[in-house]
Chains A and B, each alone.
Chain A
Amino acid sequence: MNPLRSNSAFLRSLTRTLATLPAYQAAATLADAPPAFTEVGVRYSHYSEDDIDASSVIFGATSRYDIDITQLWIEAPVGASWSVALDVQNDYQTGASPWFVGTDQNGEPGVIMSGASIQDNRVEVGVATRYFWADGNAGLNVSRSDEDDYEALSMAFDASWNTAGNTRTWTTSVSNSRDKVNPTQGVIPVFVSDEALDTQSGYFGVSQILSRTAIVRVGLNYTYSDGYLSDPYKLNDQRPQSHERIALSTGYRHFLIDANASIQFDYRYYADSWGVDSHTVELGWAQHFERTTLTPYFRYYSQREADFFEVVADLTEPHFADDYRLSSYGAMTLGARWAINLGDWTFELEGERYWSDANWGLYDGDSAPALVDFWRGTMAIIWRFD
């Protein structure tokens, strides 16, 4: 134990105040140094969609998707300026999803579900290396994802560097992904095979320390995809061959010394070439205790529907879709994160509840009958050692 790291209440509270002065914040040479420790982590998430309301279903099961996500990673320093990381993730999904939206005998739209026997497993393996220098770091990440019906190979490069006396951090990244779609014939008929999708994406952003208690960030992301973008497991889904997306994201953190807490505010605007645009606002309160941080948060989301979305797809148009994810709707999420730090070990727990409703959005549009509500829970254990 470091004899100069005292546990006295006076020094702990003094250290907290000192941390608001640049002279006592982690030095850039330390911030942009490779991790001093090897880190091993495991994270498990469970995502569970509520059953669809029986009155919205014309035919099929009312149960929906459950997804189990397991992630394992290790990151270790190599020499004085490098780190390497390996990340393996497995997603197992099971359940039913909307196949298409039709009309019942009264002319009311309703969902025809896919049947409850879809099972799919996806494995993604990523390797990354990162180089650190006094004022920044840069990383290269290659990953491959495999599932029965989909293969993806992606590569990403990112860099960040500090300027203005380390009060400003610039970040940029570019990535490319080549995907192959080869849907499996199962409980529902599928009419496509051997399709491909290429995606390029770029990001540029900056974060700025405004004062001893405030930090703001802003970033712009542009993504272009070309290829097969429809959902092969939906009957009435024919989307354009290209998709341009732009997203502006901003965030603000304000540390409250007396409360030993920080207020977190994030906003994201998204727009795409399909006519969808959306606003996401998130408010969080991170309360720091001696060894733990508890962060309750609330998120609001509102989306405008795609130009070619109809509640019941119009098959006479060149492009059409009845996917509820392309409809106009609003959504609310309430959740909390709890991080517990016990020396070399960190435990993280998170739970959130998501509700969506066509009437909660800022934009007009007909209500898609298959809008989803879900629970998501995550736990992680992280171990750091020399």
Chain B
Amino acid sequence: MGGPATLVIAPPEGRGTTAASLVGAVESRLATLERRYSRYLADSLVSTINRAAGGGDFTRLDPESEALLEIADQLWQSSGGLFDITSGVLRKAWRFDAAKAPVDLSQLETLQKKVGWDKVERTSEGVYLPIKGMEIDLGGLVKEYAADCAVRLLRDQGVTSGLIELAGDVATIGCQPSGVPWQVAIRAPQGGEPLGGIALSNAAAATSGNYARTLRFAGRTYGHLLNPHTGWPVEGPTSVTVIGENCLSAGAVSTIACLQSPEAAMVWLSEAGLPWLMIDRNAGYSGPLASELDLSAL
């Protein structure tokens, strides 16, 4: 999945499992998910679906993939179409990793025709992208899902104290072996000292941000999250952290928040009812976690 991972576990006593065997089991579970859902691997399910776009053939789905697409559908519906796993093709117009000429607006209109979750056909036969060049990207879901899968695997192995972090998303099992909740630091978008630590026990924290990958265009800085309706980068919050029972729910709430204007994001976050922290473009803090961390709003 291309990001760093951290795993902290206390192996359960009397079950014949060692930390090394547990780490191995988690690695193998994560590798399986990557082989299936990475858009960078040619033989992944996602690549297979994308290759079949416009060709007329449905790609069969296993129950897990079917459920993940169902979740993608719910997020699309709940976000008014802002969370759209087909919007990745827009990155061909907004090249956040290109050193030169990162923006090619001439392509935008053509690319936008290939975007739209509502165009995707899902039946008992499987899934089909009806336009050649259309693509899906489950990157916005799978990392969080992977963290939850790791938690489940470790719990099934009897682990009662553990923490997994996948590129900024954290899921925890129980407390630290000392009985104190896990302390998770929240990174400051502008770098430097972390903003503070939040206590987690049997909970997950997911952060969505629009600051890590940016580009300059026509005198403005744009973040990498793209609005599928306009084809342009969203001008939303810089970063949103949400705490939830599991990583996927927390990630869904924070990702959809980042796709909206800061004002709309606040309404969305309040309605979701989970603890949250939002950092806006002027480095102002808001949300229940801001007061918990004693961060004053600017």
Contact = CB atoms under 8 A, between A and B. Distances in A.
Interface of A: 2-8, 10-11, 13-15, 17-18, 20-24, 27-29, 134, 165-166, 211-213, 257
Nearest to B70: A17
8 contacts: A6-B273, A10-B253, A21-B67, A21-B68, A21-B145, A22-B152, A166-B156, A213-B63
Contact of B253 (A2, A11, A257): A11
A210 B94 CA distance: 43
B252 interface: yes
B244 interface: yes
Interface residues of B, number: 33
Contacts of B203: 4
Given A21-B64, A23-B145, A28-B156, A8 B272 contact: yes
Contact of A14 (B74, B156, B158, B275): B74
Contacts of B243: 4
A20 B74 CA distance: 14
A11 B74 contact: no
A211 B65 CA distance: 11
Contacts of A18: 67, 71, 246, 248-249
A27 to B, nearest CB: 5
A17 B271 contact: no
B204 to A, nearest CB: 9
A20 B66 CA distance: 10
A118 B22 CA distance: 67
A23 B152 CA distance: 6
B273 A8 contact: yes
Contacts, number: 82
Given A4-B275, A24-B246, 5 more contacts: A4-B243, A11-B244, A11-B249, A14-B74, A29-B156
Contacts of A21: 64, 67-68, 145
Contacts of A3: 274-275
B183 interface: no
A2 B249 CA distance: 15
Chain A contact residues, majority secondary structure: loop
Contact of B67 (A17, A28, A165): A17
Interface of B: 15, 63-64, 66-68, 70-71, 74-75, 78, 145, 148-149, 151-152, 155-156, 158, 203, 243-246, 248-249, 252-253, 271-275
Contacts of A28: 156
A134 to B, nearest CB: 6
A137 to B, nearest CB: 16
Given A3-B275, A8-B273, A23-B145, A14 B249 contact: yes
A166 B253 CA distance: 29
Nearest to A7: B273
A257 B75 CA distance: 15
Contacts of B71: 14, 17-18
A10 B272 contact: yes
Smallest CB-CB A-B distances: 6 pairs: A6-B273, A211-B63, A23-B152, A212-B63, A4-B245, A27-B155
A166 B75 CA distance: 29
B70 A11 contact: no
Given A4-B203, A6-B272, A15 B74 contact: no
Given A4-B203, A4-B243, A11 B273 contact: yes
A14 to B, nearest CB: 6
B156 A23 contact: no
A4 B244 CA distance: 5
Contact of B155 (A10, A15, A29, A211): A29
Nearest to A166: B156
Nearest to B151: A23
Contacts of B245: 2, 4-5
A233 to B, nearest CB: 55
A27 B271 contact: no
Contacts of A29: 155-156, 158
A3 B200 CA distance: 12
Contacts of B15: 134
Nearest to B62: A211
Residue in B67, B75, B274 with the greatest tally of chain A CB atoms within 10 Å: B67
Contacts of A14: 71, 74-75, 78, 248-249, 252
A10 B64 CA distance: 21
A11 B274 CA distance: 10
Contacts of A6: 272-274
A121 B30 CA distance: 62
Contacts of B67: 17-18, 20-21, 212
Contacts of A8: 271-273
A132 to B, nearest CB: 13
Contacts of A15: 249
A2 B246 CA distance: 13
Contacts of A165: 156
Contacts of A211: 63
A17 B76 CA distance: 14
Contacts of B148: 23-24
A6 B145 CA distance: 19
Given A6-B274, A13-B74, A27 B63 contact: no
Contacts of B74: 10, 13-14, 17
A81 to B, nearest CB: 13
Nearest to A20: B67
A23 B244 contact: no
Contacts of A22: 64, 152
A212 B243 CA distance: 26
Contacts of B145: 21, 23
A4 B145 CA distance: 17
